[in-house]
């Protein structure tokens, strides 16, 4: 295998989900590859939403501190390589091909020995990530979990320094469980013994689960609205306070209340790390925070693509994300917000539509897009959605929404992260031409 396209096709050709939810496959794959994960110092980021934004902020904070930082995220927005990057530079095509060449014979061996022992797509990518970060000798790696925590293939024996739990809500119930407590129990499985845990705002039931697990594992717990706080000042600035002091004003380029929440989580993690790992005085973190947060960008998260009329894209891909989005939209002065929505069929899309429809300022345009593998776009052609505008061609849906938006109005494209990725690539390519 010498071609990049072949390598990516091979990765995507692995099963998306295996019957057995276990670390057995990933641990055996990593063992046969020489346990690259054991040489990597990591910060694990788990949660229902906000993981990507928290990683983006924390990556910038650590880079601003002079560290060589690996980041493992999903999904990608433009190219697969974005999922594995060092200091914001995605893995090169050549490096990816070399890694796949190295791992492929081991995967073939595992498939032949036991069909259930062969890794899934995400497990394979996880192994490629650890190999790459080991080879490049990153000083710290930010590892975003896939779906769960305890059951996630990133929950392996690396040198974890800290765990972040961003949010916990109802998503991936068929895998993680059908209650907040069950989902929280799985995500809390990533908490490491004697290592700090930083959390965002969690539902009361989830908060109790996380607290119980952290106590059992002697993990110092730092919770938003308990041990640290943020307060929005303007559309693009906020104040931050923790037990070590206050920062009066921090500027950000990312729009939205929940983006400030994610920034606050990253700052709390950074300050905890600065104290526990580097023994920095807290005042040393302040200029780093000011510079890093203002530089952070995260494609597809309340991202402004056009000014007049305003066109925003945001990957609100499940019910908890839609709730966060609606909270953010209350701060927008526009009287009418045209929302173009396309989501995957395995999400609670009926409830997502209902939540958006309850806002009197929102006019909905439902559409669809090409999914990936066995994942299809939600079907909005049924009678239950007849009251809303349905346009099967998503490009036409966006054009129609923009035509109905005044210069001081807002069009928002939201839903599946895969949909947002597709829209963003199309819009930027269209703008360049």
Kindly state whether residues 272 and 162 are assigned to the same domain: yes
Counted domains in the chain: 2
The model's confidence at residue 321, banded by pLDDT at 50, 70 and 90, is confident
Kindly state whether residues 329 and 247 are assigned to the same domain: no
pLDDT higher than 80, residue 175 = no
Q: Quick one: pLDDT at residue 170?
A: 65
Kindly state whether residues 50 and 72 are assigned to the same domain: yes
3-state secondary structure of 177: coil
Q: Quick one: pLDDT at residue 389?
A: 81
C-alpha distances in Å from residue 284, one per residue of 57, 141, 222, 335: 18, 22, 20, 44
CA dist 349 and 347 (Å) reads: 5
CATH number of the domain to which 188 belongs: 3.40.1190.10
CA dist 47 and 184 (Å) reads: 9
Kindly state whether residues 224 and 99 are assigned to the same domain: yes
Average pLDDT over residues 289-310: 90
Average pLDDT over residues 305-332: 88
Residue at a domain's end among 244, 272, 295? 295
Which residue blocks in 192-318 are alpha helix, DSSP H?
Answer: 204-216, 257-276, 285-295
Q: Which among 138, 125, 18, 24 is positioned nearest to 81, based on CA atoms?
A: 125
Kindly state whether residues 29 and 46 are assigned to the same domain: yes
Q: Residue 274 is part of which domain span?
A: 4-295
CATH number of the domain to which 314 belongs: 3.90.190.20
The pTM for the full model equals: 0.88
**Range from 122-126, 171-175, 321-325, 419-423 carrying the lowest mean pLDDT:** 171-175
Average pLDDT over residues 400-429: 90
pLDDT higher than 60, residue 177 = no
Question: What are the beta bridge partners of residue 344?
Answer: 377
Average pLDDT over residues 47-70: 95
Average pLDDT over residues 261-278: 96
Q: Quick one: pLDDT at residue 173?
A: 47
Average pLDDT over residues 422-428: 90
Residue at a domain's end among 252, 279, 295? 295
The model's confidence at residue 178, banded by pLDDT at 50, 70 and 90, is low
Kindly state whether residues 104 and 133 are assigned to the same domain: yes
Helix (H) or strand (E) holding 61: helix 51-64
Q: Quick one: pLDDT at residue 107?
A: 97
Mean pLDDT across the chain: 91
Residue at a domain's end among 237, 262, 295? 295
Kindly state whether residues 387 and 404 are assigned to the same domain: yes
**Range from 56-60, 79-83, 171-175, 357-361 carrying the lowest mean pLDDT:** 171-175
What whole-number percentage of the chain has pLDDT above 90?
A: 67
CA dist 138 and 67 (Å) reads: 8
Kindly state whether residues 269 and 317 are assigned to the same domain: no
């Amino acid at each position: 295998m010498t071609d990049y396209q072949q390598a990516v096709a091979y990765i995507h050709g692995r099963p998306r989900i295996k019957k057995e939810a276990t670390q057995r496959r990933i641990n055996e794959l990593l063992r046969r590859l020489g346990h690259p994960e054991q040489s990597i110092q990591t910060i694990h980021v788990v949660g229902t939403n906000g993981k990507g934004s928290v990683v983006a902020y924390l990556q910038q904070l650590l880079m601003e501190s002079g560290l060589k930082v690996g980041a493992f995220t999903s999904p990608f927005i433009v190219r697969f390589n974005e999922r594995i990057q060092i200091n914001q530079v995605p893995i090169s095509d050549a490096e990816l091909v070399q890694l796949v060449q190295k791992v492929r014979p081991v995967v073939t061996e595992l498939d032949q020995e036991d069909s259930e022992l062969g890794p899934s797509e995400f497990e394979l990518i996880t192994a490629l990530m650890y190999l790459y970060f080991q080879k490049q000798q990153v000083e710290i790696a930010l590892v975003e979990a896939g779906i769960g925590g305890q059951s996630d293939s990133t929950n392996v024996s690396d040198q974890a320094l800290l765990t972040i739990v961003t949010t916990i809500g109802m998503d991936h119930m068929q895998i993680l469980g059908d209650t907040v407590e069950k989902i929280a129990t799985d995500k809390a499985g990533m908490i490491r013994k004697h290592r700090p845990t930083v959390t965002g705002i969690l539902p009361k039931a989830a908060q109790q689960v996380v607290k119980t697990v952290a106590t059992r594992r002697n993990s110092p717990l730092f919770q938003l609205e308990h041990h640290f706080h943020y307060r929005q000042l303007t559309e693009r600035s906020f104040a931050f306070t923790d037990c070590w002091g206050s920062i009066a004003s921090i500027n950000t380029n990312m729009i939205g209340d929940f983006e400030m929440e994610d920034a606050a989580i990253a700052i709390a993690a950074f300050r905890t790390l600065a104290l526990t790992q580097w023994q920095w005085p807290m005042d040393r973190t302040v200029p780093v925070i000011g510079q890093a947060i203002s530089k952070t960008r995260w494609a597809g998260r309340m991202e402004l693509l056009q000014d007049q009329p305003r066109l925003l894209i945001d990957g609100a891909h499940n019910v908890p994300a839609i709730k966060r989005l609606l909270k953010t939209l209350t701060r927008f002065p526009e009287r009418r917000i045209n929302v173009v929505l396309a989501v995957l069929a395995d999400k609670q899309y009926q409830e997502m539509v209902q939540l958006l429809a309850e806002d009197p300022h929102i006019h909905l345009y439902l559409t669809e897009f090409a999914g990936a593998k066995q994942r299809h776009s939600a079907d909005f052609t049924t009678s239950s959605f007849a009251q809303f505008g349905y346009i099967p061609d998503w490009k036409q849906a966006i054009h129609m929404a923009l035509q109905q938006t005044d210069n001081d109005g807002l069009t928002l494209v939201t839903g599946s992260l895969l949909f947002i990725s597709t829209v963003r690539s199309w819009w930027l390519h269209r703008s360049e031409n």
